[in-house]
């Protein structure tokens, strides 16, 4: 088989396997679905144009780091900020609870950016703290702390919402 076809199939597999988590991570950084999608397209286009994946030890981490770098480069070029579109779909559970999903989205995007990125990379990206440390260029202990603080804030926000729904007189 032609090497480009092998490479293309491998890249398509990576896109189908990691695309949703990469998009969520890119969205968390960019705050705009269009910019996040553009960044992902840039990453995979570069791969299709001839990047050699066989020389990369941790392809998953490479993809997340590449997505982050694409967005940061775009920020440097654009020097503008865009509000996050809360209505954009970022995950599809089998039986959607729209109220809980909206509450989770609001709570997730209310986290400080550094904690939000770590939570998304670990939960949706399924990356280890060591991988996340490499992507964000910080110490793995800092990653663990940000994750712990982010989860605590999410738990607190979600429990507060549940409590207010269960006891509306409060």
- pLDDT, one tens digit per residue, over 72-100 is 888 777 765 555 555 555 555 556 677 77
C-alpha to C-alpha distance for 51 and 47, rounded to whole angstroms: 5
Residue 1 has pLDDT above 50, yes or no: no
Q: What is the DSSP letter of 86?
A: T
Q: What is the pLDDT of residue 5?
A: 43
pTM for this entry? 0.61
The answer to whether 11 and 47 have CB atoms below 8 angstroms apart is yes
- Report pLDDT digits (tens) over 104-131: 888 898 999 999 999 999 998 999 999 9
Q: What is the pLDDT of residue 96?
A: 66
Could you tell me the residue ranges of all domains in the chain? 1-80, 96-170
Q: Which fold has domain 96-170?
A: Arc Repressor Mutant, subunit A (1.10.10)
């Amino acid at each position: 088989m032609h090497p480009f076809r092998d490479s293309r199939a491998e890249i398509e597999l990576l896109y189908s396997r990691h695309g949703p988590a990469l998009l969520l991570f890119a969205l968390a950084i960019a705050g705009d679905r269009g910019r996040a999608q553009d960044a992902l397209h840039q990453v995979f286009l570069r791969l299709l144009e001839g990047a050699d994946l066989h020389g990369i030890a941790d392809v998953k981490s490479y993809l997340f780091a590449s997505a982050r770098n694409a967005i940061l480069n775009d920020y440097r070029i654009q020097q503008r900020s865009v509000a996050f579109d809360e209505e954009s779909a970022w995950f599809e559970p089998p039986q959607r609870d729209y109220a809980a999903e909206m509450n989770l989205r609001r709570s997730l995007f209310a986290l400080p950016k550094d904690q939000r990125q770590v939570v998304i990379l670990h939960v949706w990206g399924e990356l280890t703290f060591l991988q996340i440390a490499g992507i964000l260029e910080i110490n793995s202990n800092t990653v663990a702390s940000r994750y712990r603080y982010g989860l605590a804030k999410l738990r607190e926000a979600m429990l507060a919402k549940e409590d207010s729904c269960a006891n509306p007189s409060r």
